[in-house]
């Protein structure tokens, strides 16, 4: 029988805190069918030995040791993916979260079958920031306000690292999460396409017991990435925005080459337009393969095949591009406008067809062939 609740605790250099947090969970979760998974990023402080000892002794304790990887959110995702429970609870190892609230959060799912998320909050009811330094309180409040301004989640404490969610919500959102940084709750909420039923549970934040905070500039930057990704993603698909940016860089390169070849070099307009189009085409392929379609990035033989297919697809787009640019230039339209319009028309064709053929159909056809072998 799978446990009803898996408590996921991401750890990095928390050797002293691990047995303490486990003792606290044992004290409050006795009545539930539960297990705990510590997801440790190969801490160099002896955490692995402590975890191994606990796992050998106690059947409700598991540990995942991630080698060569870092990240709180990614660690939590891995912990959830390793579990067959119906509910996942996430909390820190450093005893800052009040575990005595956890049973109430779990009970809420029994009481309310449609509940998606139970969130521990420091910013409503009798919740509070405890003895956190003024500086840390300010950072947390500014980050919370930024989220409120840009994304407006219905939570009073969207930065909370203390929450319980239903498995179904994890399954619905896991492929859309950024999986970066500390803000796993925000990542889940912003990756959901429906309105979530949530309930908040105020608690007083405590000071860290042992060890040091892992919050640093990189974590701050990862938080900004999450906000931008999710804000932009609500207006236009991120992939399309990236494709347009890659296209704009190709357009700049194209115009630069036109300036050099046609204006300065004295090459006939059509010849210069052909050369600039070819170079911009290759540059666009490289950027899109590395950035826009990085999840389906083509490598080795598939890369060569993809580039060939891309060039063939773009050749048709290039003919339309050159013809329209030449037509406009003949009509007395300024060279730069005629050239840019031709390139734009070609770009729309390239996006539509290459997305389908080069980065969707080609990789899936080659991978299914290699499976058949
Ligand atoms: N697996 C894993 N866990 C991490 C990583 N970074 C932090 N953690 C854990 O995530 C939890 C929260 O990290 P903290 O450093 O306490 O961050 P915080 O609570 O937001 O900040 P403070 O209030 O300053 O402590 C702790 O249990 C850490 O051990 C990481 O890269 N990988
Ligand atoms: Mg902490």
Domain stops at, among 235, 265, 294: 235
99 and 205 in contact (C-beta within 8 Å)? Answer: no
210 and 242 share a domain? no
Query: Ligand 1: does its nearest atom lie under 6 Å from the Cβ of 116?
Result: no
CA of 91 to the centre of ligand 2 (A): 10
User: How far is Cα 269 from Cα 279, in angstroms, rounded to an integer?
Assistant: 16
Q: Which domain holds residue 351?
A: 238-372
217 and 287 share a domain? no
CB atoms within 10 A of CB 52: 12
By mean pLDDT, which of 74-83, 168-177, 205-214 is the weakest?
Answer: 205-214
pLDDT tens across 32-89, in order?
999 999 999 999 999 999 999 999 999 999 999 999 888 999 999 999 999 999 999 9
User: Is 70 exceeded by the pLDDT of residue 255?
Assistant: yes
196 and 250 share a domain? no
Domain stops at, among 208, 235, 262: 235
The DSSP call for residue 320 is: H
Write the residue with the smallest CA distance to atom 22 of ligand 1. 213
CA of 100 to the centre of ligand 1 (A): 20
161 and 37 share a domain? yes
164 and 285 share a domain? no
Which ligand has the nearest atom to the CA of 15?
A: 1
Which ligand has the nearest atom to the CA of 38?
A: 1
Query: Ligand 1: does its nearest atom lie under 6 Å from the Cβ of 160?
Result: no
The DSSP call for residue 128 is: B
> Residue 292 — very low, low, confident or very high, per pLDDT cuts 50/70/90?
confident
User: Is 70 exceeded by the pLDDT of residue 373?
Assistant: no
246 and 170 share a domain? no
Query: Ligand 1: does its nearest atom lie under 6 Å from the Cβ of 70?
Result: yes
pLDDT tens across 115-163, in order?
999 999 988 777 777 777 777 778 778 878 777 776 678 888 888 899 9
Q: How many domains does the chain have?
A: 2
CA of 288 to the centre of ligand 1 (A): 34
69 and 180 share a domain? yes
Q: Is 118 strand, coil or helix?
A: strand
Q: What is the mean pLDDT of the chain?
A: 87
Starting from the edge strand earliest in sequence, which strands make up the sheet with 117-121, in order? 61-65, 34-40, 5-11, 87-90, 163-166, 117-121, 198-202
> Residue 369 — very low, low, confident or very high, per pLDDT cuts 50/70/90?
low
Write the residue with the smallest CA distance to atom 20 of ligand 1. 215
Query: Ligand 1: does its nearest atom lie under 6 Å from the Cβ of 14?
Result: yes
Quick one: which H or E segment has residue 301?
A: helix 300-330
């Amino acid at each position: 029988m799978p446990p009803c609740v898996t408590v996921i605790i991401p750890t990095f250099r928390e050797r002293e805190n691990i047995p303490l947090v486990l003792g606290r969970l044992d004290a409050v979760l006795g009545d539930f069918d539960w297990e705990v998974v510590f997801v440790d990023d190969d801490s160099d402080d002896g955490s692995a030995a402590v975890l191994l000892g606990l796992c050998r002794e106690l059947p409700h304790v598991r540990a995942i040791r991630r080698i060569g990887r870092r990240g709180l959110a990614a660690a939590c995702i891995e912990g959830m993916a390793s579990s067959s429970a119906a509910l996942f609870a996430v909390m820190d190892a450093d005893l800052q979260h009040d575990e005595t609230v956890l049973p109430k959060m779990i009970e809420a799912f029994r009481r309310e079958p449609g509940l998606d998320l139970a969130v521990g909050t420091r910013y409503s009811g009798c919740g509070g920031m405890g003895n956190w330094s003024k500086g840390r309180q300010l950072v947390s409040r500014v980050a919370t306000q930024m989220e409120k301004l840009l994304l407006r989640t219905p939570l009073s404490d969207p930065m909370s690292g203390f929450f319980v969610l239903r498995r179904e919500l994890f399954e619905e959102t896991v492929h859309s999460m950024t999986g970066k940084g500390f803000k796993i709750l925000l990542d889940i909420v912003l990756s959901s396409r429906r309105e979530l039923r949530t309930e908040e549970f105020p608690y007083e934040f405590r000071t860290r017991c042992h060890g040091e905070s892992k919050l640093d500039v990189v974590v701050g930057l990862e938080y900004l990435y999450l906000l931008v990704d999710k804000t932009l993603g609500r207006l236009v698909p991120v992939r399309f925005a990236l494709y347009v940016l890659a296209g704009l860089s190709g357009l700049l390169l194209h115009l630069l080459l036109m300036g050099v070849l046609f204006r300065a070099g004295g090459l006939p307009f059509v010849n210069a337009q052909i050369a600039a189009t070819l170079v911009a085409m290759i540059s666009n392929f490289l950027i899109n393969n590395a950035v826009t379609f990085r999840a389906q990035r083509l490598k080795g033989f598939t890369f060569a095949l993809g580039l060939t297919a891309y060039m063939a697809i773009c050749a048709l787009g290039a003919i339309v591009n050159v013809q329209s640019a030449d037509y406009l230039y003949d009509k007395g339209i300024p060279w730069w406008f005629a050239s840019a319009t031709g390139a734009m028309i070609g770009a729309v064709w390239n996006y539509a067809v290459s997305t389908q053929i080069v980065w969707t159909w080609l990789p899936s056809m080659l991978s299914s062939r290699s499976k058949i072998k």
